[in-house]
Amino acid sequence: MIRAVLGQTTWGIDAALPILVVILLASIGTGVLFLVSVVAYRRRRRPQYGLIAVAIGALWVRSVVGAGTVFDLVPMPAHHFISHSLDLLTAGIVLYAVYMYAPGSVTALEDR
């Protein structure tokens, strides 16, 4: 049974349906972006493209965890731990890629 849990209140399928639709659309959209980023990495073969693909992959996994929560496959505490850990991972990877591969950085100069 599909249900969303908020505190002690359990909502039925009517409340969970909009949440499920948004999560499924986000999962599909992020999955497409992930595939595009993997293709870009395979074409360019540069580390910064690989880092971006990993970051977008983490966002896709986050959407999958959200869907698992709506379907009662992932408990809410695990959902929060996994989702926020993936947020941190994504931000860290993007910041690392920007720092290491910015124009004029040592890594960017070696990458030529």
- Please tell me the pTM assigned to this model: 0.76
Three state DSSP letters for 81-106: HHHHHHHHHHHHHHHHHHHHHCCCCH
Q: Give the separation between CA 24 and CA 83, rounded to whole angstroms.
A: 16
pLDDT at 49 over 90: yes
Number of domains in the chain: 1
Residue 43 or residue 9, greater confidence? 43
Q: What is the pLDDT of residues 70-79, one digit of tens each?
A: 888 899 999 9
Q: Which domain holds residue 105?
A: 4-110
13-32 burial: b if 16+ Cβ within 10 Å, else e = eeebeebbeebeebbeebbe
Three-state DSSP class for 74? coil
Q: What is the mean pLDDT of the chain?
A: 84
Are 60 and 83 spatial neighbours (Cβ–Cβ below 8 Å)? no
Residue 112 or residue 33, greater confidence? 33
Q: What is the pLDDT of residues 9-36, one digit of tens each?
A: 455 555 667 888 888 899 999 999 999 9
